[in-house]
Amino acid sequence: MELVGLMAERYVKIRYRGSSLGVFWSLLNPLAMTSIYALVFGHAFGHYYGPSVFDYLFAVFIGFVTINYFSSSSAQALQSIVNNGLLLNKMRVPPSIFPVATVAANSIQFVWTVVPLLALLTLIIGRNPLGLPLLIFPLAGLLMVTLGVSLITAAAHVYYRDVPHIYDLINFVIFVGTPVFYPLGIVSATARPLIQWTPISLIVEELRAIVILHRVPTLASFLVMGLWAVVVLAMGRLVFVAASRNFMDRL
């Protein structure tokens, strides 16, 4: 764990070396995208979240920071083992430290920039101080799902170098299939369960419920999200351990 922490800290420092805003640049993309989507779709979808278009803006922001963390973390972790192949051949280190440290680095950024903002919105917009401890559950689920997927994609990339191109398409499908900028209410009754019960959709909707919608997510939502988190993380670990036995032959 100490090595993972040191590598994660190094990744963050290298990424923003010489930058005046540092990790806060990670907020610019979701803020810019939120503004664009609110401008284009705010009038059409705003009433699903509240009487003001600002409610829609906050809902879209929550969706974007969630999907952005998942997509960027898993995409960066995907190439982490191949990019460090020479180091793995020279040093006896567990290969898992590279994708784990990559996710940890993105988690540091997320905790420094996004989490305080979500807590502030919970107090100001949601007017729900009791909701603050509830934020831990969807955020922990997001971390576990992201780490599980990252382990799988990082291992797959060692064997198949086309994985980054395929994963770009998968990330787009996940984005479209997650209610980031549109409400679940506009989705047909047939397709809604396929979107509603996916792990990222559950996390986005739980965060929105806690932060801006003045309500506690349902117990069923928490249970399904928790199940997804445990299954994806366990599957990621199993796949990675099985695949790592032949990493040296592939790197």
What is the C-alpha to C-alpha distance for residues 161 and 138, in angstroms, rounded to an integer? 32
Which two tokens mark 122? Answer: 């919970």
Tally of residues, the chain: 251
Nearest to 39 by CA among 24, 56, 22, 27: 56
Residue 94 structure tokens: 């567990």
pLDDT (tens digit, 9 = 90+) per residue, 139-151?
A: 999 999 999 999 9
Q: Once rounded to an integer, what is the mean pLDDT over residues 23-40?
A: 82
Tell me, what's the pLDDT at 104? 92
- Structural domains counted in the chain: 1
Measured between alpha carbons, how far is 5 from 13 in angstroms, rounded to an integer?
12
Q: Give residue-wise pLDDT tens across range 138-186.
A: 999 999 999 999 999 999 999 998 999 999 999 999 999 999 999 988 9
Which tens digits make up the pLDDT trace of 112-140? 889 999 999 999 887 778 789 999 999 99
Please determine, for residue 33, whether its predicted confidence score (pLDDT) is greater than 70: yes
CA 34 – CA 204 distance, rounded (Å): 14
For 168, the enclosing helix (H) or strand (E) is helix 163-176
The confidence score (pLDDT) of residue 24 equals 67
Q: Note the pLDDT of residue 94.
A: 85
Closest C-alpha to 53, from 63, 40, 43: 43
The encoded tokens of residue 169 equal 């398409």
Structural domain boundaries, residue 239: 2-250
What pLDDT score does 20 carry?
Answer: 60
Q: What is the pLDDT of residue 21?
A: 62
Of the candidates 8, 145, 163, which has an alpha carbon nearest to the alpha carbon of residue 71?
A: 145
Tell me what the mean pLDDT of segment 53-82 comes to: 92
pLDDT number for residue 85: 78
Which amino acid, 115?
A: V
Q: Which residue has the higher pLDDT, 41 or 53?
A: 41
pLDDT computed for residue 246 by the predictor: 84
Query: Residue range 70-97: average pLDDT?
Result: 87
**Alpha-carbon gap, residue 75 to 178, rounded angstroms:** 17
